Amino acid sequence: MGAPYVVVVGGANMDIAGTPSGVLVAHDSNPGTVRLSHGGVGRNIAHNLALLGVDVRLVTAFGEDELAQALRAGCAAAGIDISASVMVPGGSTSTYLYVTDAAGDMEVAINDMAIMERLTPGALRPRLGLLNGAALVLMETNLPEETLAWLATHVEAPLFCDPISTAKARRAKLLLRHIHTLKPNRLQAEALSGVDIHDEWSLSRACDELLATGLRRVFVSLGAEGLICADEERSVRLPNPACDVVNTTGAGDAMMAGLVWAQLQGLDLEESGMAGLAASSIAVQSAQTVNPRMHEAWLKETMAALS
């Protein structure tokens, strides 16, 4: 039997960010900087896992354009196996274009992810052996609804899900009984549970409703208020580790990677939550979406400080 590996099924984007040198002037050309970086929820999670020493396979969709070449090369350099990804002839690689103000807060964005619709059940069916041979499969809700449903009903490995946004979280609402671990934030937990969360009691009730579907574990991210970890036996609230925050973008992707890593280590509910929080705290200490210094030793050190 081969060494354990994880499969991530989700998006890989080329991110293009424009930042003006001064006050952003609408309807005009603004002097500033334009930067390209590799992103996408699936790719970011896979990158964090690779940095944590996990053998990770990313199943995403690439076009035939120059952006695809750069994105594929970046995945390879990060240690992400993309050999099972779908190549779309004539396709345009998923691209996220956004413009910020001078302080770095987003003003407008265009998300061109049409190529994700090519990750159909038919495209994934030849990869079912790879999926079922994994120690764990992670899907994120940028995928089409029919693909999420196919994964939920065909994957035999433990299935993790990142709901990514309130609107797209609803794509997984009828699939929760097939999912092992879910990582929503407060708003996503409301959308999936049908419970309006406004205090500790309603938060607990939302977790109970989610677990009543057959979901094994739920980790509700509460931002600065920490993390709720719940399964059918207990619920634990954990605080965020103390750290210097540089950039919160990518914190959720890192947390998901930490939860996956914890599952591979056989950690219990509370320890898994600590791993998620530790990975998230490492992520926010970098200006980059994925902290290049992410490492298993640092993760364990941060977890120890939480216990």
CA distance 303 to 282: 11
Give the sign of the dihedral formed by CA 172, CA 59, CA 3, CA 275.
negative
Q: With respect to residue 244, please indicate whether it lies within any of the assigned structural domains.
A: yes
Per-residue pLDDT band at 127 (split at 50, 70, 90): very high
β-partners of residue 62 are: 87
Residue 30, pLDDT score: 96
Asked if residue 1 has pLDDT above 70, the reply is no
Write the CATH number for 68.
Answer: 3.40.1190.20
Per-residue pLDDT band at 155 (split at 50, 70, 90): very high
CA distance 230 to 288: 30
Query: Among residues of the chain, what percentage have pLDDT more than 90?
Result: 85
Q: With respect to residue 99, please indicate whether it lies within any of the assigned structural domains.
A: no
Residue 100, pLDDT score: 86
Q: With respect to residue 139, please indicate whether it lies within any of the assigned structural domains.
A: yes
Q: With respect to residue 96, please indicate whether it lies within any of the assigned structural domains.
A: no
Q: Assess contact for 222 and 199: CB atoms under 8 A.
A: no
The total number of structural domains in the chain stands at 1
Asked if residue 42 has pLDDT above 60, the reply is yes
Residue 116, pLDDT score: 95
CA-to-CA separations, 22 to 32, 33, 60, 108, in angstroms, rounded: 8, 11, 37, 16
Q: pLDDT digit string (tens) for 226-279?
A: 999 999 999 999 999 988 888 888 899 999 999 999 999 999 999 999 999 999
Chain-centroid distance of CA 135 in Å reads 18
What is the overall mean pLDDT for the chain?
95
CA distance 168 to 142: 7
Q: With respect to residue 122, please indicate whether it lies within any of the assigned structural domains.
A: yes
Q: What is the dihedral of CA 138, 43, 246, 276, to 10 degrees?
A: 20
Q: pLDDT digit string (tens) for 91-113?
A: 999 998 989 888 777 899 898 99
CA distance 256 to 52: 12
Task: Please give the model's pTM, rounded to 2 decimal places.
Answer: 0.94
Q: Which one-letter DSSP state was computed for residue 242?
A: P
Asked if residue 205 has pLDDT above 90, the reply is yes
Q: With respect to residue 34, please indicate whether it lies within any of the assigned structural domains.
A: no
Q: With respect to residue 242, please indicate whether it lies within any of the assigned structural domains.
A: yes
CA distance 184 to 263: 17
Asked if residue 13 has pLDDT above 60, the reply is yes
- In terms of residue numbers, what domain contains 295? 6-12+39-90+116-306
Q: pLDDT digit string (tens) for 51-88?
A: 999 999 999 999 989 989 999 999 999 999 999 999 99
Q: pLDDT digit string (tens) for 207-217?
A: 999 999 999 99
Q: Which residue from 304, 280, 303 is spatially nearest to 44, judged by alpha carbons? A: 280
Q: With respect to residue 100, please indicate whether it lies within any of the assigned structural domains.
A: no
CA distance 162 to 75: 20
Q: Assess contact for 60 and 42: CB atoms under 8 A.
A: yes
